[in-house]
Chains A and B, each alone.
Chain A
Amino acid sequence: DQQVKQNSPSLSVQEGRISILNCDYTNSMFDYFLWYKKYPAEGPTFLISISSIKDKNEDGRFTVFLNKSAKHLSLHIVPSQPGDSAVYFCAASPTGNQFYFGTGTSLTVIP
């Protein structure tokens, strides 16, 4: 039973435009959310996080939005750059417990 879902396996965006990656979760006990970025043959690297007490967290070009009532979070990248091309995983955790990962969205930023 997939508790964290990324329904778009892939996304293509023109360089300079906004990339929006979406993630849905089913467990209302989740209260900490992260986005990871993964290049081929490398482990995932942390990108940005948000706790359930917030609805937005921003770090440079990356912003994560959390809608608790809809059990939905999204990652916005603006402006998108070719180096952003990677697989993006969202992950969720009930505090003090394990992380649950989505299946990933492969982002391609076209120069």
Chain B
Amino acid sequence: GAGVSQSPRYKVAKRGQDVALRCDPISGHVSLFWYQQALGQGPEFLTYFQNEAQLDKSGLPSDRFFAERPEGSVSTLKIQRTQQEDSAVYLCASSRGQGPTGELFFGEGSRLTVL
């Protein structure tokens, strides 16, 4: 597709469930980023991939969060044993170049609600 595509758009999970969020970046984009945006806040960095390599995961809040991009295109963000504080919009972004020195193209986000 022409833009960054994320699925599902909305996810409701019971506390303790595992969830998986998918991101299809723009074709050919080398860099891929995951951000978490809580209500009323700006996006907060979670992790960054350059092709299939996860170069920075310093923003992942706990070891319950795991991200992968095995073939350097589609990425999955997995959250295990979800908790209420995980409720947020998870944004995926991609960029053409290596590293965040250019424009980031964002998807529409996946809104996760943990009950």
Contacts and interface: CB of A to CB of B under 8 A. Distances in A.
B42 interface: yes
A36 B44 CA distance: 14
Contacts of B105: 46
Contacts of B44: 101
Interface in B30-70: 33, 35, 40-45, 48, 56, 58-59
Nearest to B106: A43
B2 to A, nearest CB: 13
B74 interface: no
Contacts of A43: 4, 91, 93, 106-109
| Chain B interface SS verdict (over half) | loop
A65 interface: no
B104 interface: yes
B100 interface: yes
How large, as a class, is the contact surface on chain A? Answer: 20 to 34
Nearest to A32: B101
B15 to A, nearest CB: 25
B35, B48, B104: most-surrounded residue (chain A CB, <10 A): B104
Contacts of A85: none
Contacts of A95: 99, 101
A44 B91 CA distance: 9
B33 to A, nearest CB: 8
| 10 nearest CB pairs, A to B | A43-B106, A101-B42, A98-B45, A46-B103, A96-B99, A101-B43, A103-B42, A44-B106, A43-B108, A43-B107
